[in-house]
């Protein structure tokens, strides 16, 4: 299968980047501003990958919008600069780009934050699209039907593959009716990812293990 007809759609946090420190610090900063108990690092990290409103709603049902706003204000000033690429990511993106694959990002981060993050980490050049949370996609996030329409309209007759570390990425691949490559660089096990998948999937340790043969075999395999 020709790479130029294949779209590799990556998650951002814990798939391409490690921004746990920035997210944890921003989350606890917001809690502190509203006199709420701080959370330990592990409990916050387990929530990374879902929209901020959902994260804060797990803690409290009041001031959620204000908490999200406070998080983002701190994140823009400090948190976004505390992230770094996961080992081997830039070289792998370069390799896949050179092979001719179309690549993009779908993330639960706010659209502007996602764009800024990939610019700061100098990987924006590899992606044809970066899709984050917007006012229209805030509630449904990665399950928004508009994402399926996006691919059908912009990339007709292309084959999409979702790559991510989080159950929401599995559900995105189910929504798009496409194969899924799970990576174990986040906080979720192979079992957690595979038990949600409808159709073809593969679980790898990290995106460093992805190559053209693996992609083609997964796309051509029988569900």
Q: How far is CA 4 from the centre of its chain?
A: 22
* Backbone dihedral angles phi then psi of residue 183, each to the nearest 5 degrees: -120, 145
- 62-105: pLDDT as tens digits: 999 999 999 999 999 999 999 999 999 999 999 999 999 999 99
Residue 81: DSSP 8-state: G
Structure tokens at 193: 């990812």
- 133-190: pLDDT as tens digits: 888 776 567 888 899 999 999 999 999 999 999 999 999 999 999 999 999 999 999 9
* Structural contact between residues 4 and 157, judged by C-beta atoms closer than 8 angstroms: no
The domains found in the chain, sorted by start residue, are 3-17+84-220 (3.40.50.1000), 20-82 (1.10.150.240)
Quickly list DSSP for 123-156: -GGG-SEEEEE-TTTTTTGGG-HHHHHHHHHHST
Terminal alpha carbon distance of the chain: 17
* pTM: predicted TM-score of the whole model, two decimal places: 0.89
Structure tokens at 109: 């981060």
- 206-216: pLDDT as tens digits: 999 999 999 99
| Adjacency order of strands within the sheet including 180-183 | 129-133, 102-110, 6-10, 159-164, 180-183, 201-204
Check residue 223 and give its pLDDT.
52
Which residues lie across from 104 on neighbouring strands?
9, 129
């Amino acid at each position: 299968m020709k790479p130029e007809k294949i779209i590799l759609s990556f998650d951002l946090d814990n798939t391409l980047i490690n921004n746990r420190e920035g997210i944890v610090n921003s989350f606890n900063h917001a809690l502190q501003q509203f006199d709420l108990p701080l959370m330990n690092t592990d409990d916050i990290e387990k929530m990374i990958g879902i929209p901020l409103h959902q994260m804060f709603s797990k803690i409290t049902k009041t001031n959620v919008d204000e908490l999200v706003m406070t998080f983002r204000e701190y994140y823009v000033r400090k948190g976004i600069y505390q992230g770094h690429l996961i080992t081997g990511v830039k070289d792998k993106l370069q390799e896949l780009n050179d092979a001719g694959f179309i690549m993009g990002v779908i993330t639960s981060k706010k659209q502007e934050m996602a764009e800024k993050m990939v610019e700061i980490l100098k990987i924006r050049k590899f992606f044809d699209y970066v899709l984050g949370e917007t006012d229209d996609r805030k509630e449904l996030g990665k399950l928004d039907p508009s994402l399926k329409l996006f691919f059908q309209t912009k990339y007709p007759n292309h084959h999409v593959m979702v790559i991510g570390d989080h159950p929401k990425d599995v559900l995105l691949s189910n929504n798009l009716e496409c194969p899924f490559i799970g990576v174990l660089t986040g906080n979720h096990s192979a079992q957690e990812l595979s038990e949600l998948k409808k159709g073809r999937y593969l679980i790898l340790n990290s995106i460093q293990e992805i190559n053209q043969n693996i992609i083609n075999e997964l796309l051509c395999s029988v569900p």
